[in-house]
Structure 1
């Protein structure tokens, strides 16, 4: 079907952004209404797409190809989920795009529905351009919680999907080109003790006491990591970090706690061994468990990794980097402190960079916004990509 024969509705990037922001896709909710809308929009323009649902069936990623279907092209990847608004002092409805003073306000406006809106709004132009190199649109889910929403789609690339030449993950970088970020692993440690009166500690085992030893070890790990500085000087801070976000346990002062929970994370440089920290913590956990079982044989310490987001390592001169430089007009790369889905693409052997409109400084904030100037710059970026893909 030719572009002239299609009856699909056209949207400006701002109009498409308003449609996407209107979907409440906070990570603990389904993103299927948004996916249904995008799938229907693409179908109306004759663009095929493939869904990758999660195990529960309440969320899905979507992969679409604009242009030739028999070869790999350039992936524009972005997540559909957003962070919560509860407890934030919004001055307007976060799910209604509001334009004022050169800014477009709304949850997800910059992180990162603007990038998706640009790619989707330009689909009719991509079609009319007669692309020789396809442009792939990849919409994921759960980036804000696990970064696992891209996994099934990536696994299909080179199998049931074409293997892309390059990937651009459109997180907000003000269109600077990010070629490096830390990886992050998050953990939940559960300590099961045995309750007893605090005057007779030998009759039980305190999960809080054990948890305190484990928490102290995490603090020691954090301090030790500061001695291993990144040689490139590109990261802030220039070392791995270890953080405890929550430590809970016990019900009363005079009862040995039978339960404690620690939620913690490790953020590692691309050059660090992501296994080293967890292995050190596991070794101490075993010793703490042995100590507890001297008075409470049923005591235990268990740790589950709840998310694993690989870092992004520099690949100087990669196809993704060279392409992004031409499109953005930049001649240098940056490293960022936050994690993205880009590491998953890189682990699959796909040249990948992070580059998108808007500033990360506005992400996750009340009255989140993207400037219209950045939205326009993003459209220029996309149109340059279209020209590149016309040439093949």
Structure 2
């Protein structure tokens, strides 16, 4: 007999179904989902704190179970999901569909399956005689650069009862992950001078100058391969262009062009050196040439998103405890980024471990297996037992 959601409590089935029905693609509000969690916790006698964005359309949720002491373990997950636009789904992406031991829906793996397991476990944590507090942290806008969680971290840092450990439940097949690279995403805006293409030398071609910068970026990426860390895949920092846009018509020298670039860097790497070199090239080499033709031209850079790397010692007590709770000593790193680097930077030791695989995340017919949800359930029960000793 195959695994089924019917093996779980009705509570988990209900929570998981409700979470998937909220369309929390990052461009949309997440307030309805957050209010659902807030109401669920309130019925259990647990107060929540909402940390809103300026528009009051999105919120982080933070809650804490007794005892009233500092330290403890935080369970963290993001509530936003990636879009389904242009993807060929065979099931409704915003409805829980269970087939052959798999639970389909946008966010089922990344990472509403983990959040559902956490929420379903809360009553048992509450009924236990916990010797350490359990913290719950649910964020927004992770998928567009770990943006929302920063105000949540500020809130936690201002609290005298800050957690010392954190499990981020990103999909890792329930194997403990101790590291990932950091990331910086930037946009380069090139402002040229337009004219008729018949008189091209009188203009400043924004696309051509952007191309020079892209070529420079490619050159700067090569030396990064010299510093390697085999714990990561690829084992070196990377620098690449992802989007470029510019121009209006073939017979007009383009006035504007912009391109987006990203750097994914090893924890021990000096990521600023390469990015500074690119900006120095723009300012000291290209801009003087552009402005010799027209003084109103120029190049500007802006940071779109960034998050720090994560590198937790897998031999630390906390890492070994997570390995015991998850019944897996298969430590590793992941190629994707998480909020874990930000928590770790704030002084909260962090391991990433959650149900499902990123092989299914972000894709059409995203799913998490019932078997993975069971493994997550067992990890949370093991954590509860450890916190109740």
1:227-275 CA-to-partner distances (Å, cap 9, x unmatched) read: 3322xx1111111111211111111222211000101101001111121
2:164–2:347 Cα contact (<8 Å) kept = no
1:11–1:121 Cα contact (<8 Å) kept = no
Aligned to 2:279: 282
Question: What's the offset of the Cα at 1:154?
Answer: 1.4
1:279-317 CA-to-partner distances (Å, cap 9, x unmatched) read: 011111112111100101100100101101111023243
Aligned to 1:297: 295
Which ranges in structure 1 are unaligned for 5 or more consecutive residues? 1-9
Q: Secondary structure at the match of 2:179?
A: strand
1:331-370 CA-to-partner distances (Å, cap 9, x unmatched) read: 3420110000000011111111111111111100101000
Aligned to 1:323: 321
Aligned to 1:215: 214
Using the TM superposition, name which of 37-46 and 247-256 deviates more. 247-256
Q: Distance in 1 between matches of 2:382 and 2:240?
A: 42
Q: Distance in 2 between matches of 1:273 and 1:360?
A: 28
Question: What's the offset of the Cα at 1:201?
Answer: 2.8
2:327–2:379 Cα contact (<8 Å) kept = no
Question: What's the offset of the Cα at 1:158?
Answer: 4.4
Aligned to 2:270: 273
Aligned to 2:14: 15
Which ranges in structure 2 are unaligned for 5 or more consecutive residues? 1-8
Question: What's the offset of the Cα at 1:161?
Answer: 5.7
Confirm or deny that 1:338 pairs with 2:332.
no
Correspondent of 1:354 among 352, 361, 369:
352
Aligned to 1:83: 82
* Count of residue pairs brought into register by the alignment: 380
Aligned to 1:111: 110
Q: Distance in 2 between matches of 1:151 and 1:322?
A: 27
1:211-234 CA-to-partner distances (Å, cap 9, x unmatched) read: 01001111112223223322xx11
Confirm or deny that 1:248 pairs with 2:245.
yes
Question: What's the offset of the Cα at 1:85?
Answer: 0.4
Aligned to 1:137: 136
Question: What's the offset of the Cα at 1:176?
Answer: 0.8
1:19-63 CA-to-partner distances (Å, cap 9, x unmatched) read: 101100000000000000100110110011111111222101001
Q: Distance in 2 between matches of 1:250 and 1:165?
A: 51
1:72-128 CA-to-partner distances (Å, cap 9, x unmatched) read: 310000000000001000111111100110000000001001111111011111111
Q: TM-score, normalised by structure 1?
A: 0.94
Q: Distance in 2 between matches of 1:194 and 1:179?
A: 49
1:175–1:356 Cα contact (<8 Å) kept = yes
Q: Secondary structure at the match of 2:310?
A: coil
Aligned-residue RMSD, C-alpha: 1.4
Aligned to 1:378: 376
1:266–1:277 Cα contact (<8 Å) kept = no
1:167–1:320 Cα contact (<8 Å) kept = no
Aligned to 2:182: 183
2:312–2:350 Cα contact (<8 Å) kept = no
Question: What's the offset of the Cα at 1:141?
Answer: 0.5
2:312–2:349 Cα contact (<8 Å) kept = no
1:319–1:351 Cα contact (<8 Å) kept = no
Q: Secondary structure at the match of 2:244?
A: strand
Q: Superposed, which structure 2 residues align to 1:252-263 within 5 Å? A: 252-263=249-260
Q: Distance in 2 between matches of 1:150 and 1:11?
A: 30
Question: What's the offset of the Cα at 1:381?
Answer: 0.5
Confirm or deny that 1:171 pairs with 2:186.
no
